[in-house]
A = this chain, B = another copy of it.
């Protein structure tokens, strides 16, 4: 055997399969907000201390791990050096929605370091124009990351529509007016130097994953995340994993039929939840005019605070139909917990009682009160999930950073 071969027999410069698996295994044992010593990692993985030391050396060199000072291995343990996921490595998270663009930097420790949201009317805009505007925000965030010493490894872009992530194609995003849009070139251009590139996802799926990794999801293993934007999206988490269905598009609760005599929807159907509980539906039912979304939302909240009947009725109606759709989802998918994000979270105080009444009427006992949660991530949920997906990909394939 050549003396330059590594312990697992792989030639230098090419990480062997066993070593690849062990590198990912070690990273999986380190909680994003916690730390571990080499001795703890050896005990938890069953690897020898020598193997762990060799693997950790690679991970330190790759920049994914960093040393955090001396820590103790439990009560009786000797002091060891604490290893943490390096907060100076991160990913860009971005979201295109109907009336805003949002970008942030998520570090490996799970902290959202920079975040910027700008209003922009993207409905009917050409994908090229929207991506150019998004590119300005991404570059600003990348500059901020650079100044803070954060190395960007990749990114994720969430959009309000059905996507084919393998081909970087937006299959359909009715509220943007997009159909069969190939974003490969635009995604490649956003972060050309990042080793893991930029991937595409559905905004509600990304937000559902953000809840799982960084939000309420930690207490539910199975839930439906409902995203309230201009559209209403959904992401289904079963057994702590995203359930996307046979073709990748499961969870579309916004287009569940909640009233068969209801109005026509952008999806081509009729009586969809989105037509009763989407932002435009609520603003319109509340009689709130055609300002920007942020202004309309603050008008709505003021009207609700003041007890204006029309505003209260609009949110009551949204909660009622949200309950109809969640009841049907609970029956079909055997889901007993729901996490509500976007404007549903902003309207929690008013929409929650209406939702509870509706669930008691349509699916008594199926979704207990303690299983209705409101997202604390608000408008950052989708971009956090998109960046988080990228970072989880990095942690699963650390060998791509090791020569």
A201, chain B: closest CB distance, angstroms: 15
Least CB distance, A249 to chain B, in whole angstroms: 5
Q: Which residue of B lies closest to A258 (CB)?
A: B260
- With A268-B365, A333-B250, A362-B269 known as contacts, the answer to whether A257 contacts B328 (CB < 8 A) is yes
In the complex, identify which listed stretch (A37-45, A238-246, A380-388, A390-398) lies at the interface while the others stay far away: A238-246
Q: Judge if A121 is at the interface, Cβ distance under 8 Å.
A: no
Residue pair A333, B257 in contact (C-beta under 8 Å)? no
Q: How far is the CB of A344 from chain B (nearest CB, A)?
A: 18
CB distance from A226 to the nearest CB of B (A): 11
Copies in the complex: 2
**The residue from B256, B321, B335, B362 contacting A270, defined by CB atoms under 8 A apart:** B362
Q: Which of B222, B269, B325 is close to A361, meaning CB atoms less than 8 Å apart?
A: B269
Q: For the complex formed, measure the closest distance between the CB of A82 and the CB atoms of chain B, giving whole angstroms.
A: 36
A128 at the interface (CB under 8 A from B): no
Give Cα A332 to B236, complex, Å.
9
CB of B334 within 8 A of CB of A256, answer: no
Give Cα A308 to B238, complex, Å.
47
Q: Are the C-beta atoms of A334 and B247 separated by less than 8 Å?
A: yes
Main secondary structure of the interface of A (DSSP, over half): loop
Residue of B nearest to A246 (CB): B222
Say yes or no for A79: interface residue by CB 8 A criterion. no
Interface residues of A in 201-246 (CB under 8 A from B): 221-222, 234, 236, 238-239, 244-246
A26 contacts the other chain (Cβ, under 8 Å)?
no
Q: Which of B246, B268, B331 contacts A256 (CB 8 A)?
A: B331
Contact A332 B334 (CB under 8 A): no
**With A222-B246, A269-B364, A270-B361 as given contacts, are A255 and B335 in contact (CB-CB < 8 Å)?**
no
Cβ of A299 under 8 Å from chain B:
no
Contacts of A221 in B (CB 8 A): 246
Residue A97, interface by CB 8 Å: no
Q: Looking across the interface, which residue of chain B has its beta carbon closest to that of A251?
A: B332
Q: What CA separation (Å) do A398 and B321 show in the bound complex?
A: 51
Interface positions, chain A 326-375, Cβ under 8 Å from B, are 327-329, 331-336, 361-365
Chain B residue with the shortest CB-CB distance to A239: B246
Is A324 in the interface zone, CB < 8 Å from B? yes
Shortest A235–chain B CB gap in Å is 11
Instruction: Report A222 CB to chain B, min CB distance, Å.
Output: 4
Are A324 and B249 within 8 A (Cβ)?
A: no
Contact A246 B238 (CB under 8 A): yes
Bound: A239/B361 CA distance, A:
34
Residues of B within 8 A of A271 (CB): 362
Indicate whether A20 reaches chain B with its CB closer than 8 angstroms: no
Chain B residue numbers with a CB within 8 Å of A270 are 361-362
7 interchain pairs, CB-CB under 8 A: A222-B245, A245-B335, A259-B259, A259-B260, A269-B361, A328-B328, A332-B333
A252-B334, A257-B362, A268-B365 known; 5 other A-B pairs, CB under 8 Å? A236-B332, A253-B331, A257-B327, A260-B321, A328-B328
